């Protein structure tokens, strides 16, 4: 699996041109923003789930995009925000914990209840005009009368009671509607630390049949000593592994440990962080690469929010790491089409496809010193990170079939299988690529 792309659709980008660009770049999945009407512009405070009028567009525009992506062989992944839901009706005490039911057309019925569909937008499936019973009772901000939460609290909005069978059934109906009527083929689950992992398995099993990509956002806490990140990050790795196991093993997780470790290595020239005491990669990538969705930044860590950004000077190095390594790499839309980074990302993605690097590829870490990291993947790709130039005997040489693929600030990538070499092309940041054609034939993972 080559990559996942996180995007926000520009208003001026038509589905056909966008899909063609994504297809040419080699993306296999596109992660789209939350689709529903929301109190927040970004979509992460959803209210009326079936109402797809948002700052990103409307239902018809979304359908046009997802259908175009599917036609291009790219699977659209929806950002599913169901830990919480903003109410639109206040109770007698002025607390927002009820959900309106305004649609009363007598000829349009719910196929499950037999009653007139009375949500904001007509739809087939169970109604979502819930009351305080749908809100967890330990969410005291919103006066819930449901059961206790099964995970962490999210204070800005009412936390939903996942122990309620009717509520979960209604959410599964909504996911089925997104799948069949809108055209989504996978889910990115937001804030999964808010509810028990068994519910994620239930939602996936009920809504998607067959092999598809699902990813969970569990922003795990790293281990720190004051302002210094601990070299040993086994604890957060274990938290993610336990969550994946308890969710049934069918959902990947964003690899926050790898992001944190890599950007600390870059920021303080501590590339020895990238190998654990057992010789494996230090993040979730080193323990369970098939379930590790690696990334440099997303809408929370970088972009306009900048909660935990990757060092801007080393964005190319970050992508060199995740696109040459096993795991499921995720490329940020803003990086992909930023002129400073487009050349590097597209060259690295092309190399990943040529060399058939996949989630389970074999990783050999040859060196992890403070100033240099060297690794070999599937005996076909070598990557060097860090400011040290002298690689000694680790330098890949042409006599053994190696050719330089791309270089950038503090990184270089070599690959095997070159048939010929053309004059180097250069990116706007001075990065170069010497690749023309290859004799390596991809094999199935």
User: Which residues are known catalytic residues?
Assistant: 190, 217
For 219-370, where are the alpha helices, taking DSSP H only?
Answer: 234-246, 256-268, 284-287, 315-324, 333-336, 342-354
Residue 257: how many CA atoms within 13 Å on its side-chain side? 28
Residue burial 173-211, b: 16+ Cβ < 10 Å; e: rest: bbbebbbeebbbbbbbbbbbbbbbbebbbbbbebbbeee
Burial (Cβ within 10 Å: 0-12, 13-18, ≥19) of residue 234: middle
Report whether 254 contacts 293 (CB < 8 A). yes
> H or E element: which one contains 107?
none
Radius of gyration of the chain (CA): 23
Cα 360 to Cα 61, 326, 348, 364, 396, distances in angstroms: 36, 6, 18, 12, 23
**Do residues 37 and 46 lie in contact, with contact meaning Cβ atoms separated by under 8 Å?**
yes
Q: What 3-state DSSP class applies to 422?
A: strand
Q: How many CA atoms lie within 13 A of 171 on its CB side?
A: 25
Adjacent-strand bridge partners of 381: 377, 415
Whole-angstrom distance, CA of residue 319 vs CA of residue 341: 9
Is residue 75 within 8 Å of residue 213, measured between CB atoms?
A: yes
Of 377, 373, 332, the closest CA to residue 6 belongs to 332
- Greatest Cα pair distance, the chain, in angstroms, is 80
């Amino acid at each position: 699996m080559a990559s996942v792309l996180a995007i926000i659709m520009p208003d001026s980008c038509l589905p056909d041109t966008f899909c063609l660009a994504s297809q040419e770049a080699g993306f296999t999945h596109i992660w789209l923003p939350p689709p529903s009407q929301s109190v927040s512009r970004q979509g992460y405070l959803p209210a009326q789930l079936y109402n797809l009028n948002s700052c990103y567009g409307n239902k018809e525009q979304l359908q046009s995009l997802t259908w175009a992506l599917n036609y291009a062989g790219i699977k659209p992944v929806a950002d599913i925000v169901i830990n919480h839901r903003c109410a639109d009706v206040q109770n007698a005490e002025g607390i927002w914990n009820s959900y309106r039911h305004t649609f009363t057309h007598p000829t349009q019925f719910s196929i499950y209840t037999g009653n007139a569909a009375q949500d904001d937008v007509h739809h087939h499936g169970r109604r979502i005009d819930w009351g305080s019973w749908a809100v967890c009772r330990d969410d005291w901000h919103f006066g819930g009368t449901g059961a206790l939460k099964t995970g962490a609290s999210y204070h800005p909005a009412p936390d939903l009671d996942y122990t309620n069978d009717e509520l979960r059934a209604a959410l599964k109906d909504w996911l089925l509607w997104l799948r069949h009527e809108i055209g989504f083929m996978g889910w990115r689950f937001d804030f999964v630390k808010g509810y028990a992992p068994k519910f994620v398995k239930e939602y996936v099993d009920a809504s998607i049949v067959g092999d598809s990509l699902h990813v969970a956002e569990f922003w795990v806490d790293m281990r720190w000593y004051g302002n210094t990140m601990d070299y040993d990050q086994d604890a957060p790795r274990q938290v993610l592994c336990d969550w994946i196991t308890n969710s049934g093993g069918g959902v990947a997780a964003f690899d926050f440990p790898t992001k944190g470790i890599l950007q600390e290595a870059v920021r303080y020239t501590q590339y020895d962080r990238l190998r654990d005491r057992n010789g494996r990669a230090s993040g979730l990538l080193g323990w369970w690469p098939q379930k590790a969705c690696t990334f440099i930044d997303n809408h929370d860590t970088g972009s306009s929010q900048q909660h935990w950004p990757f060092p801007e000077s080393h964005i190319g190095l970050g992508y060199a790491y995740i696109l040459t390594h096993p795991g499921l790499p995720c490329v940020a839309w803003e990086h992909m089409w930023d002129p400073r980074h487009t050349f590097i990302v597209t060259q690295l993605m092309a190399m990943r496809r040529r060399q058939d690097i996949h989630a389970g590829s074999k990783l050999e870490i040859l060196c992890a010193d403070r100033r240099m990291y060297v690794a070999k993947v599937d005996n076909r790709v070598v990557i060097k990170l860090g400011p040290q130039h002298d690689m000694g005997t680790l330098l890949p040489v042409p006599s053994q079939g190696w050719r330089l693929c791309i270089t950038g600030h503090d990184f270089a990538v070599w690959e095997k299988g070159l048939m010929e070499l053309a004059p180097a092309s250069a990116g706007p940041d001075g990065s170069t690529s010497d690749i023309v054609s290859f004799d390596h034939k991809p094999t199935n993972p």
